[in-house]
A and B are shown apart, each in its own frame.
Chain A
Amino acid sequence: MINIPQYALPSAAVLIFGIAIILFSMTERRTYYRRVITACLAMVMVPLAYILNEYLAYALQALVLIAVGNVSRDYYKAGYFRRRKELMEIFRHDHPEHRDAKKMLYHNLRDIDSREKMIEKRLEEIEETENKLREKEFELKEQMRAIKEEQKGGKQ
């Protein structure tokens, strides 16, 4: 009779199950969001594997984290390229004013985000200045009108 160690079968089951979840997270048809979640869920197997065998748990931990790292990198890249396509669509005309915006395409997403915020803030500032100038213009026109009326009154 073959002498199978007590923990061999449960260990094999946990390892196979863990690897199956990892492979499931690699399927191309699913969205990156779902793939990351699936890969993270494979991590639940690690404490279970630790009960059976310490080194099995370390092996599974390494595999799961490589899967999570790989999927999250793909997720980031997909977001980057989608964003890049959107920006290319906006700035498709080769105009000198858009040159800076085109340069932005080659920066990190976080940089683009911060740059966008900066531009938005700048636009708000410009809008505020415009409003102030408009108010000032209105005031000056009012003054001018009052002066003209005074002059007319003086002549009469």
Chain B
Amino acid sequence: MIIEQSVPVIAIVEIMSVLLIIFSLRHLAIAKHFESETDKKVMTWFMLGLILAGIGSIANVIGVFGLHSYLVNGIPFQVFWVLAPMAFLIGIIKLRKS
């Protein structure tokens, strides 16, 4: 298949993902100021999850372009995409406790 050979598809999705995450984080960081203290903490965990997903996307882009650095080499980017739901889970636990 042509799609499997093309690097830009992954690169475009991941770069756009990083931009969308930055865009969302900016808005959430401002919007959470108007919530209660507990809700702020829950939102912080969700934002942390988004940051982890963003790091995963950056790691994937670095991998796609073969720009493996010492830090990223050997760590598959999926690790971050698994860590992100963990942060969401902590957020949900905090939400349940509140």
Contact = CB atoms under 8 A, between A and B. Distances in A.
* Bound pair (A, B): yes
Interface in A65-93: 65-66, 68-69, 72-73, 75-76, 78-79, 82-83
B9 A58 contact: yes
B28 A75 contact: yes
Contacts of A79: 30-31, 33-34
Nearest to A57: B81
B33 A50 contact: no
Chain B, interface size category, equals 20 to 34
Nearest to A47: B81
Contact of A108 (B30, B84, B91): B30
A36 B88 CA distance: 11
Interface residues of A, number: 31
Contacts of A66: 20
Interface of B: 3, 9-10, 13, 16-17, 20-21, 23-25, 27-28, 30-31, 33-35, 39, 42-43, 46, 49-50, 53, 78, 81-82, 84-85, 88, 91-92, 95
11 contacts: A36-B28, A36-B46, A50-B81, A58-B9, A65-B20, A66-B20, A72-B23, A76-B27, A79-B30, A79-B34, A108-B30
Given A32-B31, A82-B34, 14 more contacts: A36-B46, A37-B88, A40-B46, A41-B88, A43-B49, A46-B81, A50-B78, A61-B13, A69-B24, A72-B27, A75-B31, A76-B30, A109-B30, A113-B33
Interface of A: 32-33, 36-37, 40-41, 43-44, 46-47, 50, 55, 58, 61-62, 65-66, 68-69, 72-73, 75-76, 78-79, 82-83, 108-110, 113
